[in-house]
C-alpha cells in the first residue's frame, strides 16, 4: 500500500527498520531541546502530514525502550489518526519517571502503525448469548 505524505521535517520518512517490524519510527521535529520534568505532558510535532485510505487508521504507539529505560510513554495510551485527518501528526508524551528527561531534535519518540478496521453498527438487544466466561473479568482466572 502506498500512503501519500508531506514531510516538513528535516528527518527521514517513517520506514520499517526490520523485515518483521509493524511500526515505523517518528522523529521529534523541534527547534530546540525540551526538558520533561516528572509527570510533564508535551505535544511533540513530527512535521508529517499523511493521507490514510478510508477503512484504515494510523496508530501512534510508545517506543518500548523509551518507556522501559526512561519512563517516557504516550499520555493517551495509543494515539489514533483517523483517515479523514490531514493535520500534522503530533505525539503526546508523558514522563512517568521520577527524573527529568530531555527530548532532543530528531529523537525517535514513537512508532506509527497502520491498520485496517471494520465499521460496525450496534443492534440494541435485551440479552446477549451465553459463554463459558460470561461476565467474568478483572482477575476471574485467579491472576
Question: What values do phi and psi take at 92, rounded to 5?
Answer: -90, 105
CATH number of the structural domain 4-16+24-116: 2.70.40.10
pLDDT in tens, 66-81: 999 999 999 999 999 9
> Tell me, what's the pLDDT at 143?
64
Instruction: Assess contact for 111 and 63: CB atoms under 8 A.
Output: yes
The pLDDT confidence band at residue 103, using thresholds 50, 70 and 90, is: very high
Longest dimension (CA), the chain: 57
User: What pTM value is reported for the model?
Assistant: 0.88
Over 90: is that where the pLDDT of 138 sits? no
Instruction: Assess contact for 26 and 110: CB atoms under 8 A.
Output: yes
Q: Up-side HSE of residue 18: CA atoms within 13 Å toward CB?
A: 3
Amino acid at each position: 500500500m502506498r500512503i501519500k505524505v508531506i514531510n516538513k521535517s528535516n528527518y527521514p520518512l517513517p520506514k520499517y527498520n526490520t523485515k518483521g517490524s509493524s511500526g515505523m519510527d517518528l522523529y521529534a521535529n523541534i527547534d530546540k531541546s525540551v526538558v520533561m520534568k516528572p509527570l510533564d505532558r508535551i505535544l511533540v510535532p513530527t512535521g508529517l502530514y499523511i493521507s490514510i485510505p478510508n477503512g484504515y487508521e494510523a496508530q501512534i504507539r510508545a517506543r518500548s525502550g523509551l518507556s522501559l529505560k526512561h519512563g517516557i510513554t504516550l499520555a493517551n495510551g495509543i494515539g489514533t489518526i483517523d483517515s479523514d485527518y490531514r493535520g500534522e501528526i503530533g505525539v503526546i508524551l508523558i514522563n512517568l519517571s521520577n527524573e527529568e528527561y530531555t527530548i532532543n531534535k530528531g529523537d525517535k519518540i514513537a512508532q506509527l502503525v497502520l491498520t485496517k478496521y471494520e465499521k460496525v453498527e450496534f443492534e440494541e438487544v435485551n440479552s446477549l448469548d451465553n459463554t463459558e466466561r460470561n461476565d467474568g473479568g478483572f482477575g476471574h482466572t485467579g491472576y
